[in-house]
């Protein structure tokens, strides 16, 4: 079996998270990914620790840099700049997240690359676009703040997500865009420029909250673990520890009410329909908390799951991996070339014919210079 992107060459000039996440996904699917980075220090995330892996590199770097070969180049130096340009000339995909316009001085911007490589798919990732926001720094935390996510997250004050979720979402959008552009090139022979910004990706990912504003003028705010449009859909305290209950329709609510020995709640006008439950969320929470306090979380999980009411405990990351393993999801991947790093978090997609592969562990800075330069005739 070969990867779906076998034979596709990616020149990856991106750093930190959004771009490297996208290029790693392409590498998982069989693309040859050449990671271009600074000699010596390399990608900033190599030093973003602790924790550090056994090879001395940060586990942050490991998270998004498997299935790549490292080419260390000083693109400000003439000889290295020419190597980078040759790589871009040969690449099917060029991926970068420099400050908009910064690569033009090195002959690595889209207009320069497309002149010698007209079929190239050139994906540019920015924080706030290439117009009036071009000079704004594209850090995930800033976009979470300025893009509205923090305003709807938290309990007592606006709060960031526990992971750089905007970078991840942008990397996913970039990957989808690149694959669509590859399909277009397959049909027409034409490459194109693909632009993705963190801010636009976040606004799209706000889904119902964004739609509520665009379609109805509603400006949401943080609600803790509650949902603005569904109830009961949050965290509830039991006799020993919290339990998440996620009821999505009236039938599930009726089953919940019966299971916790409060069948009358399903016919109470305050709670009989989802809009009514949302309007009376506080009163409903009081009723549920009293009922759930009679037993522990494990008891309620067993009882509620038996009647198809979605519920579950709040796991830590270790428990989450244990759960995935128990469910047969194989969350940890074995890297075939394990010389330079530990095992990896598995690609989440399963393919019946062209599965993701894990053939290269995250590289050391510049470890592949000689082989890459020779193989692709870059000298």
Catalytic residues: 167
Q: Quickly tell me which residue has 């071009």 as its tokens.
A: 134
Task: Quote the tokens at residue 89.
Answer: 């000339």
Q: Are 193 and 130 in contact (CB under 8 A)?
A: no
* Measured torsion, CA atoms of residues 235, 238, 240, 241, in degrees rounded to the nearest 10: -10
Measured CA to CA in angstroms, residue 80 lies from 73, 86, 210, 289 at distances of: 5, 10, 45, 65
Measured CA to CA in angstroms, residue 227 lies from 39, 155, 284, 322, 371 at distances of: 48, 12, 13, 27, 53
Other Cβ atoms within 10 Å of 16 Cβ, number: 21
**Residue 117: CB partners within 8 Å, gap ≥ 6?**
88, 89, 90, 91, 191
How far apart (Å, rounded) are the C-alpha atoms in residues 214 and 265? 34
Q: Quickly tell me which residue has 């759930």 as its tokens.
A: 292
How far apart (Å, rounded) are the C-alpha atoms in residues 137 and 134? 8
Measured CA to CA in angstroms, residue 238 lies from 284, 289, 320, 353, 375 at distances of: 15, 7, 20, 45, 62
Q: Are 88 and 113 in contact (CB under 8 A)?
A: yes
How far apart (Å, rounded) are the C-alpha atoms in residues 129 and 298? 48
* Measured torsion, CA atoms of residues 280, 283, 288, 291, in degrees rounded to the nearest 10: -150
């Amino acid at each position: 079996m070969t990867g779906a992107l076998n034979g596709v060459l990616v020149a990856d000039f991106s750093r930190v998270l959004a771009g490297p996440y996208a290029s790693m996904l392409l590498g998982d699917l069989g693309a040859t990914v050449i990671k271009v980075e600074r000699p010596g220090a390399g990608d900033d995330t190599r030093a973003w620790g602790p924790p550090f892996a056994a090879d001395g590199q940060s586990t942050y770097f490991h998270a998004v840099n498997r299935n790549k070969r490292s080419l260390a180049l000083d693109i400000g130096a003439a000889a290295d700049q020419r190597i980078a340009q040759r790589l871009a000339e040969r690449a099917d995909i060029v991926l970068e997240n420099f400050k908009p316009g910064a690569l033009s001085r090195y002959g690595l911007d889209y207009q320069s690359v497309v002149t010698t490589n007209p079929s190239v798919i050139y994906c540019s990732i920015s924080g706030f676009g290439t117009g009036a926001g071009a000079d704004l720094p594209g850090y995930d935390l800033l976009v979470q703040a300025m893009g509205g996510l923090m305003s709807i997250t938290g309990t007592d004050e606006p709060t960031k997500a526990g992971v750089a979720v905007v970078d991840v979402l942008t990397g996913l959008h970039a990957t989808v865009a690149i694959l669509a552009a590859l399909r277009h090139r397959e049909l027409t022979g034409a490459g194109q420029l693909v632009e993705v910004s963190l801010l636009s990706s976040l606004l799209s990912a706000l889904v119902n909250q964004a739609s509520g504003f665009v379609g109805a003028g509603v400006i949401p705010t943080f609600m803790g673990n509650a949902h603005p449009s569904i109830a009961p859909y949050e965290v509830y305290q039991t006799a020993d520890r919290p339990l998440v209950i996620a009821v999505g329709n009236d039938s599930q609510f009726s089953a919940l009410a019966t299971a916790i020995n409060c069948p009358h709640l399903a016919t109470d006008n305050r709670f009989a329909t989802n809009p009514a439950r949302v309007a009376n969320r506080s009163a409903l929470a009081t009723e549920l908390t009293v009922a759930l306090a009679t037993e522990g979380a494990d008891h309620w999980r067993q009882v509620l799951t038996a009647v198809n009411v979605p519920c579950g405990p709040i796991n830590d990351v270790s428990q989450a991996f244990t759960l995935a393993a128990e469910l047969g999801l194989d969350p940890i991947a074995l890297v075939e070339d394990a010389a330079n790093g530990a095992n990896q978090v598995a690609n989440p997609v399963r393919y019946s014919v062209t599965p993701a592969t894990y053939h290269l562990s995250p590289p050391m800075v510049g470890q592949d210079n000689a082989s890459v330069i020779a193989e692709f005739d870059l000298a």
